Amino acid sequence: MLTMCTKPWGTQATIAVILSTALLLSPFESPAEDNSAGEQSNPVGETTSPQEQEDDGTDSNLVPLEPELEPEQTVSPPDLPLSDSIVEPSEQASDNASLDTPGTTDADAQGPLYNIPVVIDQAVQSHIHFFNISIRNRFEQWLLRFSRYRPLVETIFAEFDLPSDLVNLSLVESGFNPYAYSRAKATGPWQFMKGTGQLYGLRIDQYVDERRDPIKSTVAAARYLRDLYDLFGAWPLAMAAYNAGEGKVLRALQKAQAESFSEISKTKLIRLETKQYIPRIMAATIIAKNLDQYGFNQDPVPLHQFEEVVVTRPLHFRAIANVTGIPYSELRLLNPELRRDATPPGDTAYHLKVPVGTSSKVLELIGRVPTHKFPTMQTQVRQTRQGKTDSARWYRIRGGDTLEKISRRFGIPIKTLKTRNNLSGPTIKAGELLMIAR
């Protein structure tokens, strides 16, 4: 039987199949954590084994966070200070009326009103230029990818009484990539750290990482952002705390005897990354609400829609694809939280997402799908040492390395290295991780 799920978060599944554009979720309480770049523990120049990957939270499906999204790679407009004040939504029409630029908040102008604070100063304009000119193709990819999930994210944010424009924070975090993995080990579209994700109810183990689930991670992010706003009472401070952690922002306010983000942004009490974070969100929001004026592609993309089938034993995507004819790539797209491309062992009622219109066929044929047997961790490590595994291998860049040297060392074309690691140019940095094999 198919049932439409109208308000999915906070409800338990009682049926075998659910037709849904907004998945069945259990309730979460959620803060995200400081997602600044951190040091990795592996020795320089070593590749990581599957056991180490489990400890790090990495696996063969993850891709490094795109360089333009890593904190230290964010554009830093020289000599362009933040405006003395940030315009709150209720003030925008009068205070910004003179700004003749796309995204104006003048109610009488053609640009839209925003429901988060937006000011168009030199810093914001510099970030707009970065997104619109410097990395235009990349930013367009983020917009198109996010458009698949945007209605779902906006619906969840509305449930938590959050401003709809706040969804653009995810563009700055990851370009809404469920598989994004930062050097600081933050993961998923909302870049949750492992400890924070677990603290707020997300399942993270060697088989499932719900930080990568577009719906469950969005619910977690919405709960956290709601809590931050309730704590600080202003969206610029709440957004800064999402980036740096509420403790750092509270301490900055206390030491500076300040009450606003504008005040603490003039001090050295918060990092440059956090000072840049707010204008980046504003810039992304301005472009996202003015796609016509900036000339970005608005071709429709398939929305994140699916049906669910309750699975009672471990099944691998490829085995399901072989029996049912559902493309392996579709199963991966719909179930990014499954770290090993298979439903987890020991879970007698796992909700596997399948394309709309296929659940009946899956239920009919699921008995023919062989039970997947996961290799033991020792077996995986031994296979890696023998070079007989096709699991992802990560290489830590040494001083003096170039893409050309790494290409020769591992016999991988430079173009392939760039594609696997989302590199747009030849520049690499010592200490960073490169995916060298799938």
Residues with Cβ within 8 Å of 403's Cβ and at least 6 positions away in sequence, in order, are: 414, 417, 418, 423, 426, 428
Mean pLDDT of all residues in 333-360: 96
365 has a pLDDT exceeding 70: yes
CA angle, residues 403, 129, 294, in degrees to nearest 5: 115
pLDDT digits (tens, 9 = 90+) for 225-282: 999 999 999 999 999 999 999 999 999 999 999 999 999 999 999 999 999 999 999 9
99 has a pLDDT exceeding 90: no
The better pLDDT of the pair 96, 256 is held by 256
Q: 383-437 has which fold?
A: Membrane-bound Lytic Murein Transglycosylase D; Chain A (3.10.350)
| Domain boundaries along the sequence of the chain | 58-294, 383-437
Q: What are the CB-based long-range contacts (under 8 Å, 24+) for 320-326?
A: 320/362, 320/366, 320/369, 323/365, 323/366, 323/368, 323/369, 324/358, 324/361, 324/362, 324/365, 324/369, 326/354, 326/355, 326/358, 326/362
Mean pLDDT of all residues in 354-370: 97
Detail the DSSP E strand segments found in 71-190.
180-181
Are residues 284 and 131 in contact, defined by beta-carbon separation less than 8 angstroms?
A: yes
How far apart CA 200 and CA 223 sit, in angstroms, is 9
Domain covering 58-294 in this structure, CATH number: 1.10.530.10
Maximum CA extent, the chain: 68
pLDDT digits (tens, 9 = 90+) for 166-212: 999 999 999 999 999 998 899 999 999 998 898 878 999 999 999 99
- What is the percentage of the chain residues whose pLDDT exceeds 90? 55
Of the candidate ranges 65-74, 400-409, 418-427, the one whose mean pLDDT is the lowest: 65-74
